[in-house]
Chains A and B, each alone.
Chain A
């Protein structure tokens, strides 16, 4: 499942027509067209999945865990993202969806909204015990963490070092299931169900811990049909699942699938919620120039409207959002976690990062300062010479990026069809 460059995004050379849609959509200029096919430059890609949304030929997908991979585990546990509850019609209750997951082949299903509530409470405790720096940035979205490491390295220290709900849930299961079930830890497979391609990367290449507590991630795209079929076949079971609600859901936690969900629980703090990858970059730019210092918590989610807009979801995000909001209002703001439990876990560092998030040197023009300056000068001259049409015909997303590639010896001036004409 691990791709050589450490990314989840995969382009099918068979399906790719070499058009420029993904390349121009990429917020980090990580895609080039070479030999008529789109390719990903490993060190620039942050696995946000924008390219998946924009490809008109379905040539881009993500390398997530497949159903077959599950057979490696004797005991299979699913931790579905709360986004899953918004994928089916209003009449389908979360408890039925969890029931159906068991039908699909999981031995145990762990509900995540309570852990989302725990996560929010831990974030509040962290904010209250750390007056500096501001704004603190929530770390639930793995793409935001990768983006900050590479593009906004000085903001690494603003990231709240609390593990996201999916990892905390898996950690709880790892600590308890072997004992309860009396089976070897290696026989237990804990799988996240997600609308997000980056989760797979955060599992295979974790940044805040040595090893992820999760064994894999299945996309909602892949598991939607099996669940849908199971829901159809198990109408009677559905009644039972309603009569025996085995799980407690948290209204507060449920809302974290949506932009603003993390900040909703914080009543006494100044918060800002941003969604969408380009808007996130815009706001992080402002933070780096010293703005938003009066904000306690900045929540950034790179998918539009939050995780509910993840590229591997099935239902359109507007419907899914409406369903989740309905669940949130049905469940109310009653908290389900015990505050003394939260305190204990927080102080035991059960919820904290193992390792701090470290900046990743983001491709300077050259390692030698003098040569970097010369390259920047040459790039400025090139940008003036290039036509500025940003057509993408050269295989780079825009003229500035082509100029940048040229001074890095990754492309030639002759790649530009307009420059050829001029000669």
Chain B
């Protein structure tokens, strides 16, 4: 089955909207369950989409998660208009964070976000432009694996 018959849904996320934090990743998680993906894949998708959602809320003005699911893979394309990332390599380092003290007080910004996404994904691509925004492409291969 090809790309044209994939399940697609766009989830907009507003920067600074901490009150709704976790809603989008929760919806994505439930979709993955309803589509019969294995617990392991569901868990990885849930964790990575939560990190992506939180990154937009914490750092960007606005952004969106574009979910597409085929029998072989789950793909989430995350795009935001935000500050962009100056040094990707540094940003990917576990523990590196540009979070403000306030964010840290709320328990966010441990510097695990990007590395955590990469760790849970099978394919992880990142492109960014300082002052404009960031685009992530996170892919999870399901290999037709079922729960």
- Say which size band chain B's interface belongs to: 20 to 34
Q: Could you mark each residue 14-43 of chain B with 1 if its beta carbon is under 8 Å from any beta carbon of chain A, else 0?
A: 000000001001100101011110011011
User: A289–B70 contact, CB under 8 A?
Assistant: no
Chain A residues whose C-beta falls within 8 Å of the C-beta of B47 in the assembled complex: 289-290
B34 to chain A, nearest CB (A): 5
Asked if A362 is an interface residue, CB under 8 A from chain B, the answer is yes
Identity of the chain A residue whose Cβ is nearest the Cβ of B147 in the assembled complex: A361
A289 and B46 form a contact (CB under 8 A):
yes
Known: A285-B22, A361-B147. A373 touches B71 (CB 8 A): yes
Which of B31, B36, B46, B51 is within 8 Å of A367, CB to CB? B36
Indicate if the CB atoms of A369 and B36 lie closer than 8 Å: yes
Whether the Cβ atoms of B36 and A372 lie closer than 8 Å is yes
A-B contacts, CB under 8 A, total: 76
Chain B residue, CB-CB nearest to A157: B39
B contact residues around A377 at 8 Å (CB)? 5, 7
User: Quick one: which of A284-314 are within 8 Å of B by CB?
Assistant: 285-286, 288-291
CA distance A153 to B71 in the complex (A): 21
Nearest to A369 among chain B residues (CB) is B71
Q: Which residue of B lies closest to A377 (CB)?
A: B7
- Asked whether any CB of chain A lies closer than 8 Å to the CB of B9, the reply is yes
Given A289-B22, A289-B25, is A364 in contact with B36 using a C-beta cutoff of 8 Å? Answer: yes
Given contacts A289-B50, A376-B7, contact A369 B26 (CB under 8 A): no
Knowing A285-B26, A285-B29, A376-B34 are in contact, say whether A370-B46 is a contact too (CB < 8 A).
no
**Which chain A residue has the least Cβ–Cβ distance from B142?**
A369
Query: Judging by beta carbons under 8 Å apart, are A372 and B35 in contact?
Result: yes
Residues of A within 8 A of B9 (CB): 380
B52 to nearest A CB, angstroms?
11
Given contacts A362-B33, A377-B7, contact A290 B71 (CB under 8 A): no
B131 at the interface (CB under 8 A from A): no
A373-403: which have CB < 8 Å to B?
Answer: 373-374, 376-377, 380
Q: Give min CB distance, B58 to chain A, whole Å.
A: 15
User: Which of A286, A365, A366, A369 has the most chain B CB atoms closer than 10 A to its own CB?
Assistant: A369
Q: Cβ of A276: which chain B residues have Cβ within 8 Å of it?
A: none
- On chain B, the residues within 8 Å of A373 by CB distance are 1, 5-7, 35, 69-71
Q: Is A154 part of the binding interface, using a Cβ–Cβ cutoff of 8 Å?
A: yes
B144 at the binding interface (Cβ < 8 Å): yes
Give the CA-CA distance A361 to B29 in the complex, in Å.
15
Measured in the bound complex, the distance between the Cα atoms of B47 and A380 in whole Å is 24
A289 partner, pick from B29, B35, B69, B71, beta carbons under 8 A: B29
- Docked-complex contact A364 and B34, CB < 8 angstroms: yes
Contacts of B26 in A (CB 8 A): 285, 289
Q: Is A359 an interface residue (CB 8 A)?
A: yes
Q: Which residues of the other chain, A, contact B6 by a CB distance below 8 angstroms?
A: 373
Say yes or no: is B132 at the interface (Cβ < 8 Å to chain A). Answer: no
A376 touches B42 (CB 8 A): no
Question: Nearest Cβ distance between residue B26 and chain A, in whole angstroms?
Answer: 5
Asked if B104 lies at the interface with its beta carbon under 8 angstroms from chain A, I say no
A75 to chain B, nearest CB (A): 45
Cross-chain contact of A369 among B31, B33, B42, B144 (Cβ < 8 A)? B144
**Bitwise interface map of A from 122 to 162 toward B, beta carbon under 8 Å scored 1, else 0:** 00000000000000000000000000000001100000000
Measured between C-beta atoms, what is the minimum distance from B70 to chain A in Å?
A: 7
Which of B7, B22, B39, B144 is the one whose CB lies under 8 Å from A154?
Answer: B39
Say yes or no: A290 contacts B46, CB within 8 Å: yes
Query: Residues of A with Cβ closer than 8 Å to B?
Result: 153-154, 285-286, 288-291, 359, 361-367, 369-370, 372-374, 376-377, 380
Q: 3 closest Cβ contacts across the A-B interface?
A: A364-B36, A369-B71, A289-B50
In the complex, 20 of the A-B residue pairs with CB atoms within 8 angstroms, ordered by the A residue number, are A153-B147, A286-B22, A289-B22, A289-B47, A290-B47, A290-B50, A290-B51, A291-B50, A361-B36, A361-B147, A364-B33, A364-B35, A365-B35, A369-B71, A370-B71, A372-B36, A373-B7, A373-B35, A374-B5, A376-B69
Given contacts A289-B22, A373-B1, 18 further A-B contacts (CB under 8 A): A153-B39, A153-B147, A285-B26, A288-B43, A289-B26, A290-B50, A290-B51, A364-B33, A364-B34, A364-B35, A364-B36, A370-B5, A372-B36, A373-B71, A374-B5, A376-B34, A377-B5, A377-B7
